[in-house]
Amino acid sequence: MAISKGHRFPIEFADAFPQGLVLMGEMAPDTEYQSREDRASGRPVRQRVDEVTGKRQWKGTVTDPDERNAKRASFEVTFLADVQPVPTTSEVLPGLRQIELDGLTVEPRLAGSGEFKYQSYVFRATGFKPATGRAGTAKAAGNESAGKAA
């Protein structure tokens, strides 16, 4: 049995990112490449549409605190939704939010060039999950112990 190229494997968020993810900055439409001539002629920028689901593509840059290789710790996640997904968490620092993804899939890819190729992944999600409190759990545990000490 063969797996076709481009197959998207569903994966649980906690299995892919045990320490969670941090969204850096804002979500943005994933737009098609526009040549210099297109820009000069005033053609409108077109948002990409996923060929499998038919949904609009949005992108967000995330950081994985569990990744040891600094060059691979930050990457883009593609969101597939008719409207722009909105994070369910508040900012921890300006422009930084701890997030969890809903409808997560992963597609293996080969990255790099020449003799420096390596296994990479394309992550897609359908939106954000309500925060389960990875950071909130630590805060709650800290508050309980502070209450007991007082």
The domain limits of the chain are: 9-149
Q: Cβ contacts of residue 122 below 8 Å, gap of 6+? A: 78, 106, 107, 109
- The H or E element containing residue 80 is strand 74-80
pLDDT of the residue at 37:
81
pLDDT per position as a tens digit, 80-95: 999 999 999 999 999 9
pLDDT per position as a tens digit, 101-147: 999 999 999 888 999 998 889 999 999 998 665 543 333 333 333 34
pTM of the full predicted structure? 0.80
